[in-house]
Amino acid sequence: MPANGMGSNETPELCHPESRVLIIMTGGTICMQPTPDGLQPIGGFIANAMAPRPSFNDKSPSVPLEASKGSQKVVLDSLRTPPSTYSRHVRYGVMEFSPLLDSSSISSAGWTEIAQTVRENYRLFDGFVILHGTDSLSYTASALSFMMSDLGKPIILTGSQAPIFNLQSDAVDNLLGSLIIAGTFVIPEVCIFFHHNLYRGNRTTKNSAVNFDAFASPNCEPLAKMNGLGIDVNWSLILRPTRIAELEVAQHLDTAHVACIHIFPGIKPEMLDSVLRAPNLRGLVLRTFGMGNAPGGVDGSLTKVIKSAIDRGIIVVNVSQCLDGFVSPLYGPGTELGRAGVIFGYDLTTEAALTKLSYLMALPNLTIAEVKAKMSRSLRGEMTELKRPVFSHPGSSLETAIARLSVNESAFTALGCAIRDGHGETAKQILDSDDVGSNQPLLKHADYAGNTAVHLAAVGRAEILRELLSRGASVHVRNRANNTPLFLAERVEDNEECVRLLKEAGAHLWQNEAQIIGTDRAG
C-alpha cells in the first residue's frame, strides 16, 4: 500500500463513502402548510419532511454533525440518503432560519445570513443546499454568486412550487437532486437546481408562477441535467477560480441605494426624474425595449434626465425587457443612451444587474469609474463574454500532440507522466492545448484511483501544482480512498511548498484525515 494514500485501499474500506452536505432552510413553499392566514412556512423540516421518506433516510444510526451558527458551535441531527448511482451516501443536517420566510420578504440581511452560515461551515461540509422560496430565488442566487469570491464548493439553491407535504409536488425531486449534486460533484458555483436542471444561479429568472418548470436561463445553457439514471454535467461551462486564493465572502450588499425602472410607451420623463432624484440614489437598472432602446422623443427629454443623473454620479445600467438576447447601442435610441453614459449590461438579467450593482456599491473604496468598468465585465459568469481564441501549437512535443487529439485518457495520461517526471513545461503545454474557451476539461479528469492532476502534483510537484491551481483546479475533490490532495501532500516529507499552496487555495483536512496525520506524526 503506498504510504501517501494514493491507492484505493488506504483508509478503512468504505464501500459507499459519505459526503456531507449542510442544508440551510430559509423558508418558501417547500416547507409551507395551510393556516388561516394562508400558506405559511413551518419549522422542523428534517423531522417532519425528510426523516419519514426513504429516499432521504436510509435508517442508519444518526451521527451528530458539528456545525457553526453565528460563531457558536452547534451539533445537528443528521440523516443519510441511501447510496446514489454514484455509490455515495449523502449525510446531511439542516439549519433553519428564524423566522422562516416567504421569499418575497428576503433582503440583503438574509443574504448576509446565508453567506455567513456557508462561510462558517465551509470546512465542515462538501457542499451546501439552500432551501428557499421561488419568488425571489433568482435574486438570492445572483446575490450569493457575487458575495462569494474564489468559491471551491457547490452551493445549490432550490425550493418548490408545491409544499413537500402535498401529494403532487416537485419538492422531493428538487431537493433530492440538489443533495446528490452537492454531495457528488465539485461544481464551485452558486447554482439553482429546479425541475431536473442545474442552472448558473445568476443567469436565471422565475418565468412561471405555477409550473414545476419555473425557471429559465435564457442566455446560458444548464450546467447539468438530471437524466433518467444519472446527471450529465456540462463541465465545459463550469467556472472555477483562476487564482490561488481561499473563499472570501462579502459582508453585505447595498440594496438601499439602487432602483429599477421598467420603460413603457408613454413613460413621463418627470417620473424617471423623480426616481433618479430619490435621496442618496447611486444606481439605476433601466429595463429597456428589445436591444436596449428607450423612447427618444423629439427633444430627447428622457435621455436628458438620464444624462443629468449620470452627470450627478448615478450609474445607469441598461438591460433588456426581453428574456433572450442582449442590449447593444445598435439602434438610434440605444446609441443616444450610450452617448449619455448609460452602461450596456449585455445579457445580464434584471436580477443579476440589480444584485451586481448592489454588491459593487458595498465594496469599500471603489470609484464610480471602477464600478462602471466592473458592470461591463463578467465577474461570476453572469454575462456572456467573448471566448478566448484557440491557438495552435506548432512544434509541440509528442505528449502535447497526443493530448491534443481529444480530451480523454491519453491526454490525462500524458499529463500524469509530465507530473510524475516533474516536467513543468510539458505539463503547461498539455494544459494550454486543453484550454478550449478556458474550460480545461483535463482538470476534472481522474485516474483509476480517482486521483486528479492536483492529487498527483500535491505529493511534491509544487511548480506544476501552482500552475494547476491558477487554472482553477479544485482542491476539494476526493479520490476513491476519500482523500483530498492536502491529505496526500501532508503525508509526504519535505513537502511544505505543496501544503502551503493547497492551503492558500482553500484546502483543508477533514477530521478523519487530521486524525491519521496526527497519528503518523506521533508515531
The residues that bridge with 66 in the sheet, in sequence order, are 75
Question: Does 355 contact ligand ASN by CB under 6 A?
Answer: no
Spatial CA neighbour of 192 closest among 215, 210, 165, 173:
215
29 carries an active-site annotation = yes
User: Residue 396 and residue 273: Cα distance in Å, rounded?
Assistant: 61
Question: Does 479 contact ligand ASN by CB under 6 A?
Answer: no
Among 5, 20, 21, 28, contact with ligand ASN (rule: CB under 6 A) = 28
Q: Please give the grid coordinates belonging to residue 87.
A: 455509490
* Pairing of β 155-158 and β 190-194: parallel
Question: Does 110 contact ligand ASN by CB under 6 A?
Answer: no
Closer of 44 and 297 to ligand ASN (Cβ): 44
Contacting range for ligand ASN; rule: CB under 6 A; set: 127-135, 218-226, 371-379, 426-434: 127-135
Contacting range for ligand ASN; rule: CB under 6 A; set: 133-141, 215-223, 305-313, 374-382: 133-141
Start-to-end Cα distance in the chain: 18
Q: Shortest Cβ distance from residue 501 to ligand ASN (Å)?
A: 42
Question: Does 134 contact ligand ASN by CB under 6 A?
Answer: yes
Residues 150-209 close enough to bind ligand ASN by CB under 6 A: 159, 161
What burial class does residue 54 get, using C-beta atoms within 10 Å of its C-beta: 0-12 exposed, 13-18 middle, 19+ buried?
A: exposed
User: Residue 327 and residue 384: Cα distance in Å, rounded?
Assistant: 12
DSSP codes, 369-435: HHHHHHHTS-SSS-S--PPPPPPP-TT--HHHHHHHH-SSHHHHHHHHHHHHTT-HHHHHHHHHHT-
Closer of 103 and 202 to ligand ASN (Cβ): 103
Question: Does 29 contact ligand ASN by CB under 6 A?
Answer: yes
Spatial CA neighbour of 254 closest among 148, 355, 140:
355
Q: Shortest Cβ distance from residue 105 to ligand ASN (Å)?
A: 8
Closer of 104 and 511 to ligand ASN (Cβ): 104
Q: Please give the grid coordinates belonging to residue 435.
A: 484550454
Q: Shortest Cβ distance from residue 48 to ligand ASN (Å)?
A: 17
Which position's Cβ is nearest ligand ASN? 133
User: Residue 40 and residue 55: Cα distance in Å, rounded?
Assistant: 25
Question: Does 345 contact ligand ASN by CB under 6 A?
Answer: no
Instruction: Determine which one of 29, 117, 288, 355 is catalytic.
Output: 29
Question: Does 424 contact ligand ASN by CB under 6 A?
Answer: no
Contacting range for ligand ASN; rule: CB under 6 A; set: 129-137, 246-254, 288-296, 352-360: 129-137
Q: Shortest Cβ distance from residue 170 to ligand ASN (Å)?
A: 9
Q: Are 27 and 97 within 8 A, CB to CB?
A: yes
Binding mask 88-107 for ligand ASN (x = CB under 6 A): --------------xxx---
- Compute, in degrees rounded to 10, the torsion defined by CA atoms 3, 7, 8, 11: 10
Contacting residues toward ligand ASN, per CB under 6 A: 28-29, 102-104, 133-135, 159, 161
Residues with a catalytic annotation lie at 29
